[in-house]
Chain A
């Protein structure tokens, strides 16, 4: 029953995203409208894929670091992506895909640095160091980004921040195809790690006794979740709260078993972002809100509710 409801919510969010928009397209012309086929439909699908990816990445990282506040963007990826994008603009790198590629490269560089920091104590990846390293690398990258913006003579730089705040304006079938081809690999890695992630909740030592290859699982989950997040930030900027809130909501219904939790987080994240993007495009039309603003407006009250539940419990 709960899977049927979630599936229905996901379909409704996708359909709503395709049917509703600032331009008036009559229902009878939906199937033939260029606006619907070339703009709304790829945007809806991309929102769903990005939201789903962030939901799964968040669930995986929260299990890995055993911290309910873990968010995919806490690991320095947003700072790295921002530095990549701003550097590309400051260096006048041109081309239609210049910004997403530069952001992806920046996120990968941050991922590499944080991963290296995570191994600082030896061969074992320490989740606490990962979190601290992520915060430190993110802050360092943000500081360099601010310095470039302050010193460079390019008015466009301030717009890079708009892009980084998150949005799906750049959605196209090309971007959908790219994410659809790329995301299944890290998603499959995370799904395959569902059982060891359940065991990790018992502690690393217990998980090891129960047969999990703890070090390999930690590396795979961290890299897969980070690669998913890097792709998401490259095509849509930094969209907060999806990766933080969706796993918690999914846990309320599906419990802590990752075999069910991860697919639920994918469908829930996809539905939430598609819904939020529809609101972003329509509530202040003809203007548009950054979708990150909408996810935060939805996410913060939900998060406050969850915090209250935990406190009472």
Chain B
């Protein structure tokens, strides 16, 4: 949803930070026209974190601290951050009907790679995509990852058609907390470590 520009302007902020996407671009232009300093930040993948920290540091006059943080976050994408465990295969299911999965190059796909797992839908070059359930069965991931704050199996695990997926039948779910895994941020390192721990036998 686009922000309510009038409500934002009424609070007379020194700086407005917006996620760089569709309706926010128009909102940023409107805020700039009102004389409010506004910045649009790309924050979709691990490699966006360092530049975002540097941009915010520059705008807030905290360049040195931002640079220190950015260097740590640049390291999230380095493959030698951790010794990878034996490769596991994984499918991220973000919705069950129709099945929507995470494809190549998305944040979660990057986290899986850093944690030593292989996204079975890594050949799909879209951040997310609708697939047929039989494609998930055929690709037979060892783990089904879902963004969930609870460790209870998702509702679709009880559905007969989903039980054709071996990982669902065997209860091989990875529950990824939305607050930690939902978007890139300073805690992405924790997300990678926790991901590895979940995959460990």
Contact = CB atoms under 8 A, between A and B. Distances in A.
A269 B159 CA distance: 27
B134 interface: yes
Interface stretch (B26-34, B94-102, B111-119): B94-102
Interface stretch (A104-112, A165-173, A216-224): A165-173
B137 A173 contact: no
Bin chain A's interface residue count: 20 to 34
Contact of B159 (A22, A96, A159): A96
Contacts of B80: none
A244 to B, nearest CB: 23
B137 A169 contact: no
A24 B160 contact: no
A286 B120 CA distance: 11
Nearest to A281: B132
A162 B98 CA distance: 7
Given A22-B134, A169-B132, A170-B161, A287 B124 contact: yes
Given A23-B138, A96-B155, A96-B158, A169 B164 contact: no
B160 A38 contact: yes
A192 interface: no
Given A95-B155, A287-B124, A288-B132, A39 B98 contact: no
A163 B97 contact: yes
Contacts of A95: 155
Contact of A286 (B96, B135, B158): B135
B97 A169 contact: yes
Nearest to A280: B132
Contacts of A288: 98, 130-132, 135
A257 B94 CA distance: 48
Nearest to B98: A169
Q: Counting chain B CB atoms within 10 Å of each CB, which of A35, A94, A288 scores highest?
A: A288
B107 to A, nearest CB: 14
A86 to B, nearest CB: 14
B97 A39 contact: no
B164 A162 contact: no
Interface of B is mostly: mixed
A24 B131 CA distance: 15
Interface residues of B, number: 30
B123 interface: yes
A213 interface: no
Nearest to B166: A34
A285 to B, nearest CB: 7
B18 interface: no
Nearest to A99: B97
Contacts of B98: 162-163, 167, 169-170, 288, 290
Contact of B134 (A23, A99, A162, A174): A23
A114 B28 CA distance: 44
Contact of A94 (B94, B155, B164): B155
B151 to A, nearest CB: 15
B135 A22 contact: yes
A162 B100 contact: yes
B95 A156 contact: yes
Q: Counting chain A CB atoms within 10 Å of each CB, which of B97, B131, B158 scores highest?
A: B97
21 contacts: A21-B132, A23-B135, A23-B137, A23-B138, A24-B138, A34-B164, A35-B134, A35-B137, A39-B134, A98-B155, A150-B1, A159-B95, A163-B98, A281-B132, A285-B132, A286-B123, A286-B124, A286-B139, A287-B124, A288-B98, A288-B130
Interface of B: 1, 94-100, 121, 123-124, 126, 129-135, 137-139, 155-156, 158-161, 163-164
Interface of A: 21-24, 34-35, 38-40, 42, 94-96, 98-99, 150, 156, 159, 162-163, 167, 169-174, 281, 285-290
Given A21-B134, A39-B161, A42-B161, 12 more contacts: A22-B134, A23-B132, A38-B163, A96-B155, A150-B1, A167-B130, A285-B135, A286-B132, A286-B139, A287-B131, A290-B98, A290-B130
